[in-house]
Amino acid sequence: MDGDNSSMITVNEAKTTGDIIHPKHVVAVICRSCGYDLDEAEVNADTCSSCGETLELRQNTTIYATTLPAASGSTLV
């Protein structure tokens, strides 16, 4: 944990529970209008400090796919 980091970004490291693999994923709180990455103070504001619109929060989850073994054969799309 980094106590100096006031960002609203939550990093969840990859882990395995039984047979289920949870890939690493990052959850960020962003502005609905412009996608600006808000920090802790900005989340409580009335307007977005980036685009100036009335602030509506949105959670943005980014999943980092784990590195898979190279698959042989054809690739199905």
Q: Residues 35 to 64: which contact Zn ion by CB under 5 A?
A: 36, 48, 50-51
Size of the site for Zn ion (CB under 5 A): 7
If the CB atoms of residues 12 and 33 are measured against Zn ion, the closer one turns out to be 33
Q: Is 7 in the site for Zn ion (CB under 5 A)?
A: no
Tell me how far apart the alpha carbons of residues 68 and 47 are, in angstroms, rounded to a whole number.
42
Min dist. Cβ of residue 5 to Zn ion (A): 21
Cα–Cα distance for residue pair 39/43, rounded to 1 Å: 6
Task: Please give the Cα distance from 68 to 71 (Å, whole number).
Answer: 8
Question: What is the phi/psi pair of residue 67, to 5°?
Answer: -70, 120
Binding site for Zn ion (CB under 5 A): 31, 33-34, 36, 48, 50-51
